[in-house]
Amino acid sequence: MANSPDFTWQTTNLNSYVNLYPGTAKPQKFGPITLQSFSGNTGMLGLPGDFSSPSRFVRAAFLKTTAIQQPNGYKTAMQSFHLLNNLDEPFGFDWAQGTATFDMPSATQWTIASDITNRKIYYHTMYDRTIREIDMNKIDFTTVPFQYHPLDKNKQETVIPIKIDM
């Protein structure tokens, strides 16, 4: 999905990245010298990194296409967070410097992944990256009235202190 331009434009635009591929770029002759990668994963050099809709669409397409198929819905949903986190819009980036307001965040406010086989919805928010689960199997939709809840009671990350034994 993309905000704009439309889907047809986005898929056509993928042709601009025909030279990208997973893995490491092979050495190339450049006149009398041989060019070599400094590190791994250089096959994706040129993948756009800005936060425009077209760039995010290209990243999403390549991440999804190169992702390893997972054996079940739970693992697929968990892998989805790794992919989707690459598309998060950080708070304040689309406001002119010094004009962002904290009461109207334009950043990615929540991220959702679904396991449709097991009828579970997972999500985390911009304020707390702890993944939460809604088990749709435990809801009797014929008796439970419509309800809504705030995404976060506290707008604060969950931090778990780790004790280091000396």
Answer yes or no: do 47 and 82 share one domain. Answer: no
Answer yes or no: do 52 and 91 share one domain. Answer: no
Answer yes or no: do 55 and 124 share one domain. Answer: no
Answer yes or no: do 55 and 125 share one domain. Answer: no
- Residue pair 112/121 in contact by the 8 Å Cβ criterion: yes
Asked if residue 32 has a cis previous peptide bond (ω within 30° of 0), the answer is: no
pLDDT at 23: 94
Q: Number of C-alpha atoms within 13 angstroms, CB side, residue 3?
A: 7
Give the structural domain span for 28.
1-66
Last residue of a domain, one of 46, 66, 86: 66
Answer yes or no: do 78 and 51 share one domain. Answer: no
Answer yes or no: do 42 and 87 share one domain. Answer: no
C-alpha–C-alpha distance, residues 64 and 74, integer Å: 16
C-alpha–C-alpha distance, residues 109 and 105, integer Å: 8
Answer yes or no: do 53 and 7 share one domain. Answer: yes
Answer yes or no: do 24 and 93 share one domain. Answer: no
Q: How confident is the model at residue 136 (pLDDT cuts 50, 70, 90)?
A: very high
Q: What is the pTM of this model?
A: 0.83
Q: How many domains does the chain have?
A: 2
Answer yes or no: do 82 and 130 share one domain. Answer: yes
C-alpha–C-alpha distance, residues 144 and 83, integer Å: 33
Tens digits of per-residue pLDDT, 27-60? 999 999 999 999 998 999 999 999 889 999 999 9
C-alpha–C-alpha distance, residues 21 and 45, integer Å: 9
Q: What are phi and psi of 43, to 5 degrees?
A: -65, -20
